[in-house]
Structure 1
Amino acid sequence: MNVFDRLAKKLQRDRTTLNEDYHKYNYIKDEVGNRLADRVYDINRKFKRGLDLGCGYGHVSRHLTKDAVDELVMCDHSALVLEKAFKPEDTTINCQKMAVDEESLPFEPESFDLIISSLSLHWVNQLPQTFSQIMKCLQPDGVFIGAIFGGDTLYELRGSLQLGETEREGGFAAHVSPFAAIRDIGGLLNGAGFTMLTIDTDDMRVGYPSMFELMDDLKGMGENNASWIRKLHLHRDTMFAASAIYKELYGNEDGSVPATFQIIYLIGWKPDPSQPKPLERGTGQISIKDLYRLDEVVKNATEDMVKKTAKEIPYPQDDGDGKKR
């Protein structure tokens, strides 16, 4: 089932390049890209070949150095966006750009040992299929590090538009695209074969003078609605009603309105025999019920280990010839 009009989304992203100050709309993507780059450096490994899937204007790539990756492939569905994307500041990285649809990856199996994706996969129709393609492109023991908008993103805008349209038109349509729920991401990654998963969320709240500035910024960053069932025209009366409801329900004391962006960060590894394996069930030595006194348990376990080690080390023996054995 296709939820999003991929051609419409590509055209929306193409239009962002027509703005002379297009970079000023990318504050959310730049911040998330910076945080995602930190997660790359948290892995104590230098990668040989990496892929930045849906690189946008280079929100992650610009932060990478030779210490992280030797070769980097930057790809995006929009060739116009890709043309203006910032390459890594470290010019010693062998970097190339390719126009690629995230739903159909053209790379050979096991081509990369690192794949990163920042805020692009929420427009993919078949997310399980894309995860499977990413898994196929990774080398054994390769890692996928991504960020995707979560289900609570723009809940204020979604609710206000629904209430405003219901009040003025007697019903409402979808004006904010659906997002993945965090409870589903782990299952999708597991279903694609990823192991040693790490998933966490981060809520970013940004203040705007009104709902209209928020919608203008969303359009500027290419994040306006692209679902097939989207309503192409929103009446002026409906928009003013929604703006008033937004400010009434969520407005700050200074008159501004907040917008929430829920970011889901995910890390998954391609299986390899060299990876650590969990212990067999029943081999644990510490019960969960003792977690509240964990410091005491660790101290006792350490003392027991020291005593056991001391018993196993033989003391020097004198056989009468004056030599210690």
Structure 2
Amino acid sequence: MNVNLQSLRSLQRLCGAGWRRLSSMQGGSMNVFDRRMKRKQKKWASSLPDSAKYDYLKNEVGGRLADRIYDVSRTFPLALDVGCGKSHIAEYLSKDVVGRLFLTDISDSSLRKNKDCEIPTHSVQADEEFLPFKENTFDLVFSSMSMHWINDLPGALRQIHQVLKPDGVFIGAMLGGDTLYELRCSLQLAELEREGGFAPHISPYTAVTDLGNLLGQAGFNMLTVDVDEVQVHYPCILEVMTDLQGMGESNCAWNRKSLLHRDTILSAAAIYKEMYGSEDGSVPATFQILYTIGWKPHKSQAKPAKRGSANVSFADLSKTG
């Protein structure tokens, strides 16, 4: 290779982080993703004879999101799973917590492979950006590993807010901006070396600093945003890319490059191992998961105290007790 290790580490700092921020997105929605391509990718992935072996990441995140639902400590007579895929959350929930569940996904083939659960379910093929439900319908809306493919994320959050009943809660999990930074860096550096420039091969993801603002703009209050990481080890870069396809998580951005040259892939594999490889020869792939919780306002909810209403100053706190 013509790029030495010191140069690689310098370039890593430039291209390792996510390259799209959703900030306030004022002036209309963005058109980053080819939604028809994403439907085709999910349909292809769900049609694989061994598709279940690629569910490990979505099952893991679905279980962690289910834990957050249990943490709310209330029952939900009617719930909605937005972008359910093969239903990676419902299997972790009991009918004592969720009475009935509507499942929606852009791919009808994914809906047909929904996993069995004890909750009565109803499947509806629907785009996450166009929810076909009336206002004030659901007590709970949740979504896992789907919303990072939405073009109009602010609009989708507003629709979720709309279909929730007052005092209803939205709990979501989506990929964040540092996801697959190892793969992104390796591909970009390999293309830079072999082809004299690079194109985006990894989807742009949402920055964690934007989510709170987006939820607030959609009308939610009592917000919670936290970050988790799941790191998976693979034999080499080819297995990383194969599993992403099997998950239905391949890039569908309009500006994606459809072809990778063989020499570029070989170079990327060498860079990946050089920069990130473990002692056992495997390479890690990091998935940053952004978890969000937001409530639709209701008069019964606790209100923050009015500004200036405190009767103890911070300077006097050390004197109390």
TM-score normalized with structure 2 length = 0.88
1:287 positional shift:
5.5
What is the CA-CA distance between 1:288 and the residue it aligns to? Answer: 5.5
Question: How far 1:62 moved relative to its partner?
Answer: 1.1
Q: What corresponds to 1:155 in structure 2?
A: 181
Residue in 2 that maps onto 1:20:
49
Is residue 2:68 matched to residue 1:42?
no
For residue 61 of structure 1, what is the aligned residue in structure 2?
90
Shift of 1:20: 1.4
* Residue type at the aligned position of 1:96: H
| Cα distance, 1:48 vs structure 2 | 1.1
Task: Using the TM superposition, give the Cα deviation of residue 283 of structure 1 relative to its aligned residue in structure 2, in angstroms.
Answer: 3.5
Greater relative contact order (Cα < 8 A, sep 6+): 2
Q: Aligned to 1:84, what secondary structure does the other structure show?
A: coil
Give 3-state SS (helix, strand or coil) of 2:217's partner.
helix
Answer yes or no: is the 8 Å Cα contact 2:80–2:138 preserved in 1: yes
Identity over aligned residues, as a percent?
55
| Aligned residue in 2 for 1:236 | 262
Partner in structure 2 of residue 173 of structure 1: 199
Aligned residues: 292
**Counterpart residue number, 1:95:** 121
Q: Whole-Å Cα distance in 2 between the matches of residues 52 and 22 of structure 1?
A: 21
Q: Write the deviation string for residues 151-184 of structure 1: whole angstroms up to 9, x where unpaired.
A: 0000110011000011111111000000000000
Alpha-carbon contact 1:161-1:175 (below 8 Å) kept: yes
Residue equivalent to 2:240: 214
**Letter of the aligned partner of 2:180 in structure 1?**
L
Alignment of 1:273-292 (within 5 A): 273-284=299-310
Partner Cα separation in structure 2 for residue 244 and residue 286 of structure 1: 61
Q: 1:220 to 1:131 in 2, by over 3 A?
A: same
CA 1:65 to 1:161, structure 2 compared with 1: closer, same or farther past 3 Å?
same
Query: What CA distance in whole angstroms lies between the structure 2 residues aligned with 1:205 and 1:76?
Result: 26
User: Who is 1:142 aligned against?
Assistant: 168
Shift of 1:254: 1.2
| 2: CA distance, partners of 1:159 / 1:152 | 11
8 Å CA contact 1:55, 1:61 repeated in 2: no
Any stretches of 5+ residues in structure 2 without a counterpart? Answer: 1-29
Q: Mind listing any 5+ residue stretches in structure 1 that lack a counterpart?
A: 301-325
Verify the 8 A CA contact 1:87 1:95 in the aligned structure 2.
Answer: no
Q: Which of the pair has more CA radius of gyration? A: 1
AA in 2 matched with 1:204 = V
Which consecutive segments of 4 or more residues in structure 1 shift more than 6 A?
A: none
Amino acid at match of 2:287: F
Q: Answer yes or no: is 1:4 the counterpart of 2:30.
A: no
Q: Tell me the alpha carbon deviations over residues 131-157 of structure 1, each in whole angstroms, 9 at most, x when there is no partner.
A: 001011000000000001000000110
Partner letter of residue 74 of structure 2?
R
1:132 corresponds in structure 2 to 158
Tell me the C-alpha RMSD between the 2 structures: 1.5
TM-score (norm 1): 0.87
* Alpha-carbon distance in 2 for matches of 1:40, 1:287: 37
Equivalent residue number for residue 77 of structure 1? 106
CA shift digits 1:194-252 (9 cap, x unpaired): 00001100011111111111100000000011000111111000000011111111111
Aligned to 1:265: 291
Aligned counterpart, 2:229: 203
CA distance in 2: counterparts of 1:290 and 1:73, whole angstroms: 53
Cα distance in 1 between the residues matched to 2:315 and 2:182: 41
Could you report, residue by residue, the CA deviation over 1:243-295 in whole angstroms, capped at 9, with x for unpaired residues? Answer: 1111111111111111110000000000110000111223346666788x7xx
